[in-house]
Every structure is written in structure tokens, then in C-alpha cells.
Amino acid sequence: MSPTPPRPLGSRYELLDLLGTGAMGEVWRARDRETGQERAAKVLRSEFARDTEIVTRFIQERSILMGLRHPNIVRVHDLVVEGDRLGILMDLVDGGDVRGRLRADGTMTGRDAVVVVGAVLDALAEAHSQGCLHRDVKPDNVLLDGALLADPGAVKLSDFSIAKLAQESTVMATGLLGTPGYMPPELFLHGQFSAASDVYAAGILLYELLGGRTPFAGPGTAHTVGHRHVMAEPPRLPVDDRLWHVLGTMLDKDPRVRLTAAGTARTLRDLPDAVLDRPRLPVQGHPETWATSGGTGERSEPIHVQERPAALDPGVTNLHAAPVASAPLAGTGQVRAWGPADAPDEGVTSVGRAAPEHQAPVLTPGAAVDATPVRRPWLVWLTVAVVLLGLISGGVAFAQSRDGGAAAPPEAPGKGAVATTAVQADDARPSGLTVTREVAFDPASRTLRLTVRYATQKAALTGPFLEVVPAADDTQQCPAVDWQGAPQPSNIGRTTGILTACAYAIQAPTIPAQSSWEVTAVVDLDLGDDPEAVSTWLERAAGLTAEALGGASVQPSAYPVQRLADVRVDVPAGVTVRTRNLRVVLRPVWVSGPDDSITLLYDSSTGQSSGLLDQVAGGLEGVSLDESCGGALSISRQRAVSVLRPTEDCRIGADVGNFDVESSPFTISSLGG
């Protein structure tokens, strides 16, 4: 029998042989016809590829996924959309996955488990720094490049955001979906997922590598497993107390207690050899009962989980795409043009903008032309000189009559005469950002030149910054905007929660303290001949921008420099003299109110800066702490806080970028209470 010929995938790749199948689709060994290199091609199931939500969102994140570069991340090389097939071309890793290693060996030694999970955490730390979550960390998505684990570089984390895209597209129709054994409690309680949730899943992975099973696996449905995540303590593994302490922190019910991915990896690797070199455990049995932890003390709404077929394994990702009904964009026989910010997402090409109506130029001769043959050359030159002089004099007289006697400045070559200019400046925001907008409108070409200047005060600040560039009035579509230098992407409403039309996410670099940066755009706009219309448009643009930033539906991490109203300093309750290192947490207070779901800085002593802190304060360099506790605390390097003695009244102050804030008063008790 002759071998099966290769199957084409797009025009560039061919599928050679099937490597495996899963709930999301099939994995093939593929060849790049142009380079001859072999790749792994994940071909998603046809129902995913037919779902425009999934395809659109993956195209949006394509640049992020292809931009992830790390030794422990399986690199995405290309995306192929062909009919009802969606193919993702990735690095080919031949060593199998960690799930296969567990099936063969049952468990791993502490050292091998730390090598695997430490590499996974390194990959997560890089992804989190780029604003990308994984959402499906499990042994199936951890690949091994070779049989030995001595080299951490042999561990490769794959499938970034692929499960996330499928889940977010179907969650409205089918409830909570994912891999129940690895889902964090905050996802069951509040439907929230963050970088700390990825750390929790890595903790489940570490537990499974050590014990041969996930902590909350056992009899029952996916709902039962989810309830255990929220309310039950993970059954104790017979490992060293120091390793169990780190694992317990990763699996804490409160995401605020978990360390960052980088901090967790460092803590695991700092464990002594005596802890890591103990013999590996036998596969642990499922407990008959689980000890109740009390969870987070918060009640959640009932969890609705689909009925699963009898043959479905709840320990495997099972994401079922279901079409979500939506109103058509246009009726039969109609065409609706999309402007740049009207498009549902940044990744969708929007070329439907209505072109301005062409106005033919009207030419008026400046002087009559004599058709009689010229016989005196010197008279010709004299006539030309007189005509030119008249034209120049007439132009000056016209400008003087229009501007009250002042001659108009010479215009730039190829430009229309600038009729109206206007300047508008916002009040400085609490973060220290000042925005100044300047416009110049040319009625001849019906274009408006907009320059936006962002200035800083005490701290370095980083974009993106929101800017609304509206039409002349609410009845018109968003105007065409040509950003000079580097194109600026449209605001993605589904990601930021800002649904205002004609909004852009200005990708400003880090602006040093007491400096400024500006961006310029040419806007196709017809404001008529009323000089007041320019000022009115500018005020409207600034007002719409401010209104959008203050909306209640804005996502926590969207445009933090413009939305941060204050910083709150939190210290743990029940501080005693035994608290050697006092954890100081910095939390944001947005224009819409305080936010306990995320942090600017979790622990001032760890040296780990969050992406939000980098944007609003220039990172850790923009943070310093002081105390008013009568010497009961010691602060080293302006950030590490040590408790020295008891006191009845203690406060910790913090300079965070442009903010000067202080904690609520607290007590440091003695050993006796």
C-alpha cells in the first residue's frame, strides 16, 4: 500500500502525519514548503474555525502570541485560516508531554517537579509581562524536548490563549468551561481570571507531579470539583514542610496571597537540596473526605455546568463552541460602512469609510489673454511684469481685508490656508499626566491637524492612552484618521470595556519624569466655515475622552495612567512582633472607585514590579516607603519593612509615582497579645 500523500494546509504548508488528537482538535507534523522546516500544526476542530468570534479574537492576539519569545515557550510561527479549518503553526517538540511522563512513571521527585514547574512559571512570567494569560496550564500543555529534565530549557509551555479564546467565545452560552481540576476558586466565585490564576494552575500542576493526581480530583461531577476548589483544603502530601509551604501559597484561595510567577519560581529554586532530593512519592489515593477551609468567606451564585456525556473525562479540557445569536450588521440589500473605530475589533480590516465628495477646482484667469500675434517682445515682458505685480497686490489686499489689516503668513508648499486653530488642555490627572490638544483646520482641503501632547510631573509614565477623535456631529461616521509616524490602533471595546466610538489606544513609550511626548494625526473632517466649530469639536473630543475613561464598565487594567485616582496602602491584619517581614500591598483606586481585584505592588520586599506599576510610576524605582511608628518599624532600601517592637499607633507612608499616600493606623501587638 502506498503511503498517504501529504494534505495541504493553505498554500505554504502540508500536513505529513498525525501526532495526536484532543478536545480542541488535531496536532500534525507539518512541513513548510518554502523553507523545508518541520513544524507542529494544531488544526482546531471545525466548529471553532467556523465561529467568527474565535477566529477574530485569535487574529487580534496573533501579534502577541507570535511576539512571545522565551526558551520555555513554544513559539507560534503562523496562522492559517482556510475554509472551515484554522491552523496554528508552532515549534515542533518531539519529546512528548508531561501527561505522558506521568502515565509512565506515576510521580516525579521534588527536584524534577521543581525543574518542570519552575520552567512553566518562567514562561508565565514572560507572558504576563506582555499582558498575555495562559488560562489552561496542565500537564498536556507542558512539552518536553528530550527525555531528561536536567536542562530547564527542555520544558516548553504551549497553547497560550488558545483555550482562552474558545472559552470566552462560548462562556455566554454554556456557563463556566475549562479544565475543572485546574480552575482557580476566583473563577468559580466571581468569573475572574488573572495572572495569579495562572500561578494557581501551576500549583495544581506541581501537586500532581509530586502526588500523581490533582488535589481535588475524585468522585463527583465537575460542579463537585469546583466546589472543592472554593471550600476545601488541598489534602496534605507527605513532603517536606518547606516544600508544602510554597505549594500551599500557590494554592491559596485568595489570589492576593499568591506570589507572582517569577517570585514563585525563585522561591521554589531556593529550597535546599535536602528537600528536593527526597525519594519520589507513590501515587496518592483519593481522600474520602475533604477538610473545609472556609474558602474566601464569600458566597457565589450557583454554578451552571453542562451535562457531560458518560465517556467525557472531567480532567480534560472540554470546550464546546456554540454560536451566539447576534443582530445582522446590515439588512438585505444594504451595506453598512465601518469606520476605523466602528469595527468590532482592531484585527478586522475596516476599509468601508465613505470617501469625501470630490469637488472639481474652479479656475479663474487673472487677466484677459490677447490672441493677437505679438510683434514687440519688450512689450510682452512689460505686460507680464504688470500682471504679476497686480496679482501680488491683490493677494495682499485680500488678506488684509480678511484679517483686519494683517497679512497672512506664507503657507507651506502643497498646504491649504489654515483658517482656524484652537488649543485645549486638561487639568493634570492624579497620576501627573497632563494632556494638551492643539488643532489646525484647513477648510480648503477639509482636513484637521490634531497634535496631542502628553506631559509628566514627578514620575515616568507609559501608555497606552485613550484618545477619542469624533466626527463633526453624532449623525456622521467616524472620520478617517492618518496618524503620523506610527499608526495608532483602535480601542478594542471587548477588551477594555470602553465602547465609545472613534476611540484610539495611543501607544506612547515611557515618558520620563518632567518630560513630554506628542503624537499628530491628520483627520478628514468638514467643519464648515464657522470658526467656532473648531473649538466646539475640540471640546467635544476632550469631553468624550474623559467620559469614556470614567465609565463603570471599564476593565481594571485599561488605561491606568488616565484612570488612576489614588493609591491605597494595605498592611495585613494582626501584626505582631513575630511578623519579621511586614507585607505592604499597594492597591489602585480608579476614578470609578477602589479595586481589590488587582494590585500595583503585592509585596514591597520582593522586588517584583507589576505591569500597572511600571505604567503609573516607572516601576519599583518610583516607589519608596516611610513610617510614623516611633521606631517600631525598620525600612531598608525604602521598601523592605521589618517589625522591631510593639506599638499602639503605626502608619506606613508611600510615595508611588505622583502619589503621596498613607496607610490606615494599625497596632503591632506583643507576643502576649
Percent over 70 (pLDDT), the chain: 71
**3-class secondary-structure state, position 558:** coil
Residues 540 and 575 in one domain: no
Q: Find out whether 164 is annotated in a ligand binding site.
A: no
| Domain final residue pick, 253, 276, 299 | 276
Q: pLDDT tier at 3 (50, 70, 90 boundaries)?
A: low
Residues 573 and 462 in one domain: no
Residues 567 and 539 in one domain: no
Q: Is 136 a catalytic residue?
A: yes
In 3D space, the residue among 468, 482, 513 whose CA is nearest the CA of residue 622 turns out to be 513
| Domain final residue pick, 553, 572, 606 | 553
576 lies in a domain?
yes
pLDDT tens digits for range 405-455: 433 443 443 344 446 788 888 888 999 999 999 999 988 888 999 999 999
Among 51, 78, 112, 136, which one carries the catalytic annotation?
136
**For residue 387, what is its C-alpha cell?**
500682471
For the four alpha carbons of 91, 93, 98 and 100, in that order, the dihedral sign comes to: positive
Residues 246 and 157 in one domain: yes
* Alpha carbons 183 and 186: distance in angstroms, whole number: 9
The domain total for the chain is: 3
Of 210-219, 237-246, 347-356, where does mean pLDDT reach its minimum? Answer: 347-356
Residue bearing the bigger pLDDT, 46 or 594: 594
Residues 492 and 627 in one domain: no
pLDDT of 337: 44
| Domain final residue pick, 229, 255, 276 | 276
Judge contact between 609 and 619, C-beta under 8 A.
yes
Size of the chain, expressed as the number of residues it contains: 673
Give the amino acid at 602: Y
37 lies in a domain?
no
Exposed, middle or buried, 98 (CB in 10 Å: 0-12/13-18/19+)?
buried
Judge contact between 30 and 43, C-beta under 8 A.
no
pLDDT of 346: 42
392 lies in a domain?
no
Residues 533 and 604 in one domain: no
Q: What is the residue whose three cell numbers read 449623525?
A: 475
For residue 212, the 8-state DSSP code is S
pLDDT of 496: 81
358 lies in a domain?
no
For residue 519, count other CB atoms closer than 10 A to its CB: 21
Domain harbouring 532, CATH code? 2.60.40
pLDDT tens digits for range 363-386: 444 444 444 444 445 444 444 454
pLDDT of 660: 93
pLDDT tens digits for range 606-665: 555 667 888 899 888 888 888 889 888 888 766 788 888 899 889 999 999 999 999 999
pLDDT of 323: 40
Q: How many Cα neighbours within 13 Å face the side chain of 379?
A: 6
Report the pLDDT averaged over residues 263-273: 92
Of 291-305, 454-468, 528-542, where does mean pLDDT reach its minimum? Answer: 291-305
221 lies in a domain?
yes
Supply φ then ψ for residue 553, to 5 degrees: -90, 0
For residue 313, the 8-state DSSP code is -
Of 248-252, 271-275, 419-423, 597-601, where does mean pLDDT reach its minimum? Answer: 597-601
Q: Residue 2: which residues within 8 A CB-CB, separation 6 or more?
A: none
Q: pLDDT tier at 137 (50, 70, 90 boundaries)?
A: very high
Residue bearing the bigger pLDDT, 402 or 613: 613
Residues 539 and 569 in one domain: no
Supply φ then ψ for residue 619, to 5 degrees: 90, -165
Residue bearing the bigger pLDDT, 337 or 604: 604
Judge contact between 315 and 214, C-beta under 8 A.
yes
Give the chain's mean pLDDT.
76
Residues 259 and 145 in one domain: yes
Q: Which strand (E) or helix (H) includes residue 159?
A: none
**3-class secondary-structure state, position 48:** helix
Residues 541 and 632 in one domain: no
Q: How many Cα neighbours within 13 Å face the side chain of 243?
A: 23
296 lies in a domain?
no
**For residue 238, what is its C-alpha cell?**
507527605
485 lies in a domain?
yes
For residue 149, count other CB atoms closer than 10 A to its CB: 20
**Chain-centre distance of CA 313, in angstroms?**
32
479: containing domain:
420-553
pLDDT tens digits for range 520-566: 999 998 888 887 889 999 999 999 999 999 887 787 778 999 999 99
In 3D space, the residue among 149, 131, 129 whose CA is nearest the CA of residue 262 turns out to be 129
* Alpha carbons 659 and 654: distance in angstroms, whole number: 8
Going by DSSP bridges, is the β-strand pair 85-90/38-44 parallel, antiparallel, or unpaired? antiparallel
For residue 46, count other CB atoms closer than 10 A to its CB: 14
Judge contact between 540 and 462, C-beta under 8 A.
no
Percent over 90 (pLDDT), the chain: 31
Domain harbouring 213, CATH code? 1.10.510.10
Residues 597 and 516 in one domain: no
Cis peptide bond upstream of 464, omega within 30: yes
- Tell me how far CA of residue 343 lies from CA of 159, 348, 351, 504, in angstroms: 27, 7, 10, 12
Report the pLDDT averaged over residues 180-186: 88
Residues 525 and 622 in one domain: no
In 3D space, the residue among 189, 77, 93, 197 whose CA is nearest the CA of residue 137 turns out to be 197
Q: pLDDT tier at 68 (50, 70, 90 boundaries)?
A: confident
pLDDT of 352: 38
604 lies in a domain?
yes
Report the pLDDT averaged over residues 195-199: 91
Judge contact between 455 and 436, C-beta under 8 A.
yes
Residues 535 and 617 in one domain: no
In the sheet where 38-44 sits, what is the strand order? 7-9, 13-21, 25-32, 38-44, 85-90, 76-82
**pLDDT value at 110 more than 60:** yes
